[in-house]
Amino acid sequence: MATRKHKLWEGRFAAATAPIVEHFTASIAVDKRLAPYDIAGSLAHCHMLVTRGIISAVDGKRICRGLGEIEQEIADGTFRFDTADEDIHMAIERRLTEKIGPAGGRLHTARSRNDQVSLDLRLFVRAEIGAILKHVTAFQKALAATARKHARVVMPGYTHLQRAQPVLFAHHLLAYHEKLERDGERFADCRRRADVMPLGAGALAGTTFPIDPEQVARELRFARVATNSLDAVSERDFIVEFLAAAAILATHLSRLAEEIVLWSSAEFAFISLPDEFATGSSIMPQKKNPDVAELVRGKTGRVYGNLMAMLTILKGLPLAYNRDLQEDKVPLFDTVDTVKGCLAVLTAMVPRLVVHADRMREAAADSFLLATDVADYLVTKSVPFREAHNLVGQAVRRCLESGRRLEDLPLKEWRELSKAFGSDLREWLSVDAALARRSAGGGTAPANVARRLRGL
Ligand code: ARG
**Pair (154, 102) in one structural domain:** no
**Pair (124, 63) in one structural domain:** no
Say how many domains are in the chain. 3
Residue 163's CATH number: 1.20.200.10
- State the first-to-last Cα distance of the chain, in angstroms, to the nearest integer: 64
Q: Return the best residue to mutate from 31, 323, 325, 327 for the ligand 1 pocket (most ligand atoms within 8 A of CB).
A: 323
Q: Which range of residues forms the domain containing residue 419?
A: 366-454
Among 6, 56, 265, 281, the active-site one is: 281
pLDDT tens digits for range 138-148: 999 999 999 99
Per-residue pLDDT averaged across 35-60, rounded?
98
Asked if residue 389 has pLDDT above 80, the reply is: yes
**Pair (131, 65) in one structural domain:** no
Minimal-distance CA residue to ligand 1 atom 12: 326
Distance 325 CA to ligand 1 centre (A): 8
Q: Is 281 a catalytic residue?
A: yes
**Pair (262, 406) in one structural domain:** no
Residue 56's CATH number: 1.10.275.10
- pLDDT category of residue 15 using cuts at 50, 70 and 90: confident
Asked if residue 3 has pLDDT above 60, the reply is: no
**Pair (239, 120) in one structural domain:** yes
Q: How many C-beta neighbours within 10 Å does residue 246 have?
A: 30
Domain-terminating residue out of 50, 76, 109: 109
Domain-terminating residue out of 66, 85, 109: 109
**Pair (306, 166) in one structural domain:** yes
In a domain, 5, yes or no: no
Determine what percent of the chain is predicted with pLDDT higher than 90. 93
Asked if residue 79 has pLDDT above 50, the reply is: yes
**Pair (306, 328) in one structural domain:** yes
Asked if residue 4 has pLDDT above 70, the reply is: no
**Pair (72, 125) in one structural domain:** no
| Ligand 1 in reach of 235 Cβ (< 6 A) | no
In a domain, 217, yes or no: no
- Residue 326 has a pLDDT of 98
**Counting atoms of ligand 1 from 1, which one is nearest the CA of 328?**
4
**Counting atoms of ligand 1 from 1, which one is nearest the CA of 87?**
1
In a domain, 341, yes or no: yes
- Residue 5 has a pLDDT of 65
| Ligand 1 in reach of 299 Cβ (< 6 A) | no
Determine what percent of the chain is predicted with pLDDT higher than 70. 99
Residue 426's CATH number: 1.10.40.30
Amino acid, single-letter form, for residue 429: L
Contact by Cβ (8 Å): 148, 170? yes
Contact by Cβ (8 Å): 38, 120? yes
Asked if residue 446 has pLDDT above 90, the reply is: yes
Per-residue pLDDT averaged across 339-364, rounded?
97
Domain-terminating residue out of 89, 109, 129: 109
- pLDDT category of residue 367 using cuts at 50, 70 and 90: low
Asked if residue 350 has pLDDT above 70, the reply is: yes
Minimal-distance CA residue to ligand 1 atom 11: 323
pLDDT tens digits for range 295-347: 999 999 999 999 999 999 999 999 999 999 999 999 999 999 999 999 999 99
Asked if residue 105 has pLDDT above 80, the reply is: yes
**Pair (29, 74) in one structural domain:** yes
CB-based burial of residue 263 (10 Å sphere; 0-12 exposed, 13-18 middle, 19+ buried)?
buried
In a domain, 4, yes or no: no
